[in-house]
Amino acid sequence: MQFPALLSTRVLGNFLTDNAFLGITAVGMTFVIISGGIDLSVGAVIGFTGVLVAVLISSVGMHPLAAFAIALAIAALFGAAMGLAIHYLQVPAFIVTLAGMFLARGGASVITQDSVPINHEFYSYLTSLAIRMPGGGKLSFIGMLMVLVFLVGAVLAHRTRFGSYVYALGGNATSASLMGVPVVRTTVTIYMLSSVLACLAGLVFSLYTSAGYPLAAVGVELDAIGAVVIGGTLLTGGYGFVFGSFVGVMLLGLVQTYIIFDGTLSSWWTKIVIGFLLFLFIVLQRLVFAASTRADRSPGGA
Amino acid sequence: MNAARVWVTNPRHDNARPAGIPAGFVAGPRRRGKHGGSELTQTAFRMEARGVSKVFGNNTALDAVDFGLLPGEVHALLGENGAGKSTLIKILTGAYQPDGGSIHVDGVEVEFDSPLDAQSYGIGTVYQEVNLLPNRSVAENLFLGHQPTRFGLVDRRRMDREARVLLTRYGLDIDPSSELGMHSVAVQQIVAIARAVQLSGKVLILDEPTASLDRDEVQRLFEVVSGLKQQGLAIVFITHFLDQVFALDARVTVLRNGKLVETSELGEMTRTDLVRRMLGKDIAFSGSTSLEAERAFDEVLMSFTDYGRKRSVQPFTLDVHKGEVIGVAGLLGSGRTEMARIMFGVDPADSGSVTLRGKAVSIKAATDAIGYGIGFCPEDRKADGIFGDLSVRENIVIALQGKLGWFRALNRDEQLELAGQFGEAMDIRAASLDMPVKLLSGGNQQKVILARWMATDPDFLILDEPTRGIDVGAHAEIVRTINRLRNDGMALLVISSEIDEVVAYSSRVVVMRDREMVAELRGQEINPGIIVQAIAAHEEAST
């Protein structure tokens, strides 16, 4: 190991904290991708949430909890609307969520063009919440929140009827509807979940930065998709694990941390390494998939 | 109802009772008329369609059809393409809503909004393509939407346990937690049946369940179906294989052109009787003999020897001569389209050999076939043949461009000249060669496809149902065109369900049945009676 400090609990704590917003976003993205869709709006929703909450707290003088509730409600409606559009207008999720991305990003810029700082004691309280780990590391509130979201997401995906409907939609939407899967309800719930989790990620991001900025988290949707794919979820839908996305997020975070530790490389190297990783994983997926289909065909085939 | 012609009434029809049904079930004379005894009539029908009609635009797909389904019977629904079978099935399963008539389940009138709604009334359906989820476990496919839960979470262990119990009843010993896609189509089909029976339990509709199964698998499926019949389930069975109708000892309902032809016990009926009802042909043994029958052909163009493909068509041997029209007759699903696809290399053959003008060649893809001067007009014009949004001109030159390759692009003037020349030769009536093909009538679209292949100057042209869905006038023109091309020395292979048409232009007729070439008729043998008989069976005596 080149940097033994990488393994300390302090780094681990920071690691979870730094990647909390990406992790939470990736959980929602996992559901969307397993169902055979995609959600490009999440980065913009993070930005919008940050700005909205910042303005509501700093300019309007609202209590953060009330601001959070408003943001989450708006995100839920936003996601539901995208789900409905995808189902009823028969427009690909790619297009609908791209429109959603422009809407949310534009909406954020309409609220304010500048970075709005948040100074509220409740914010300070939340950021100070942490569990001390042996070795001097701190598990922050947002780090714990991410772990919690992953656990709830895993149970939701793998142990509930809703979860099985999500896989069913990704496997074969026609079969799913013939088998009695409530397609509309499931689609709407999936995109609501993704938007709400993106909003939650936005709240985490605003706790993390103590500010709201309309251009925050640009491109995070792609990081989230990358993490999900690296975690083994097929972009074509139907296959994947929530825990895999956790591994994906951690891997992306690790690359970033490693390059920062190295210090000699420019931070853009992160992108290059991630690009290679992503490519590698996609090739790997194809190979595994091809091998498994060949195995299926051989017995009793022909 | 009155419009439907009743062919033969089986004398045993009225008091016939399928085996396994207690006497009390058949409560009285079966109603014939649509408005028969109205609400007073208590029938034993588990499910019944009374005078259902369905209209699409100007086309009456189903015309006042009655259909009754008894508990504990296998009821085969027969008919050629366009007979209205699938429309009726879609109405029975709630995918379509009828424009007229009514649906009754256990004597109570019902309306289905959706397949799900029908399912709640006890109507379960298994489709030709297995409509399950290959990416999920067998158990989950059985119980999706009804998984046993504990504290709101799916209880996997209990689900697997229940699945195992359920599957053993169908003679399947597989791991319920294994992925469904890992199993053979037959197993998937049985899982689909198990699910449908589990969730509905009154009526099971099997829509061509055997289409992609091999012989042993079909046998296995039949055992399952027979078992369910014993249990008193009412089963609708749709198939193109008449053998299966006899094997299951099904009651049969035959539809033709959207009308009910007959519902009857199999009884003394033979395969020929069934085919005659399906095709609507009175067997006239003195049918017209083809004019070309006696013509001699000596120049062999292509020769297929033991040419076949597993799961598609049994190996066949056929010589194609210059200047002849080979008619291919057979019911839908008999392997006639598959034969054409193999000849053209869309599905490459995996056995046998082919020679072109005496030289061995290999046709592994459609581009090979085009290179050897073969053309193919597929059956489903809209899906496989026409590029609806492209212009008439582009549609005509596209195959020629394919033959020339990527680097010798035809310029617009050349394209226009070619399109004009062949468009005129084929008498395509279009306002402009630059209008989108989808705006033309069916007959003209067919002529565009013919013109497309004419432009490549083929030696051998395969036409699959060239006259389907076009009006009578255009129909005659296509037939005239076929004759003209033949006279110009081209070899043609024409697949058609219209027996009269086959008789009119064929110099030889190949008959397909159960994916096998079963007869080659020539000369005096080419008449509708003999063709129908060949389609029906050779082992007539054995049934």
To the nearest whole Å, the CA of A161 is away from the closest chain B CA by 7
Average pLDDT (A11-16) is 84
| ipTM of this predicted structure | 0.83
Q: Return the minimum-mean-pLDDT range out of A46-60, A279-293, B362-376.
A: A279-293
Q: Which of A33, A35, A161 to mutate to test the interface with B (most CBs of B within 10 A)?
A: A161
A108 and A48 Cβ atoms separated by less than 8 Å: yes
* The pLDDT of residue B125 is above 70: yes
Chain B contact for A185 (CB, 8 A cutoff): no
Model pLDDT for residues A200-215, shown as the tens digit of each residue: 999 999 999 999 999 9
Model pLDDT for residues A108-147, shown as the tens digit of each residue: 999 999 999 998 899 989 888 888 888 777 889 999 999 9
Cα–chain-centroid distance for residue A289?
Answer: 25
CB contact under 8 A, B311 and A159: no
- Work out whether strand B251-256 and strand B259-264 pair parallel, antiparallel, or are unpaired: antiparallel
Greater pLDDT, A280 or A156: A156
Helical ranges in B51-205 per DSSP H: 85-92, 115-120, 138-143, 156-169, 185-199
* The pLDDT of residue A27 is above 90: yes
Model pLDDT for residues B405-464, shown as the tens digit of each residue: 666 677 778 778 878 877 777 777 777 777 888 777 777 787 788 888 877 778 898 988
Amino acid B406: pLDDT: 64
The partner residue sitting opposite B135, judged by closest CB among A159, A167, A300, is: A167
B514 and B334 Cβ atoms separated by less than 8 Å: yes
Contacts of A168 in chain B (CB under 8 A): 133, 136, 144
* The pLDDT of residue A282 is above 90: no
Q: What is the mean pLDDT of chain B?
A: 78
Query: Least CA distance to B115: which residue of chain A?
Result: A178
Rounded CA-CA distance B193/B228 in Å is 10
Rounded CA-CA distance B422/B448 in Å is 9
Query: How many H-runs (helices) and E-runs (strands) does chain A carry?
Result: 13, 4
Contacts of B132 in chain A (CB under 8 A): 172, 175, 179
Instruction: Please tell me whether residue B59 adopts helix, strand or coil conformation.
Output: strand
Chain B contact for A263 (CB, 8 A cutoff): no
For tokens 């200047």, the residue is B323
Query: How many H-runs (helices) and E-runs (strands) does chain B carry?
Result: 16, 22
The partner residue sitting opposite B135, judged by closest CB among A171, A174, A180, is: A171
CB contact under 8 A, B152 and A160: yes
Average pLDDT (B268-289) is 63
Confidence of residue A75 (pLDDT cuts 50, 70, 90): very high
Cα–chain-centroid distance for residue B63?
Answer: 20
Task: Tell me the one-letter amino acid at B417.
Answer: E
To the nearest whole Å, the CA of A296 is away from the closest chain B CA by 5
* The pLDDT of residue A80 is above 90: yes
Model pLDDT for residues B34-58, shown as the tens digit of each residue: 343 344 444 578 899 999 998 877 6
Average pLDDT (A9-18) is 85
Beta bridge partners of A275: none
Amino acid A277: pLDDT: 83
Confidence of residue B3 (pLDDT cuts 50, 70, 90): very low
The conformational region for residue B359 under phi > 0 = left, psi -120 to 50 = alpha, else beta, is: beta
| H or E element at residue B483 | helix B472-487
B283 and B29 Cβ atoms separated by less than 8 Å: no
Cβ under 8 Å to B: A residues 264-283: none
Q: What are phi and psi of A245, to 5 degrees?
A: -65, -35
CB contact under 8 A, A171 and B140: no
To the nearest whole Å, the CA of B48 is away from the closest chain A CA by 22
DSSP structure class, residue B391: B
CA atoms within 13 A on the CB side of B83: 24
* The pLDDT of residue B118 is above 90: no
Amino acid B209: pLDDT: 81
The second-level CATH assignment, the architecture, of A7-296 is Orthogonal Bundle (1.10)
For tokens 């086959």, the residue is B502
* The pLDDT of residue B21 is above 50: no
* The pLDDT of residue B169 is above 80: yes
Q: How far is CA B311 from CA A93, A156, B420, B514, in A?
A: 38, 42, 42, 11
Chain B contact for A236 (CB, 8 A cutoff): no
A226 and A274 Cβ atoms separated by less than 8 Å: yes
Tokens of A8: 């300390």
Contacts of B144 in chain A (CB under 8 A): 164-165, 168, 179-181
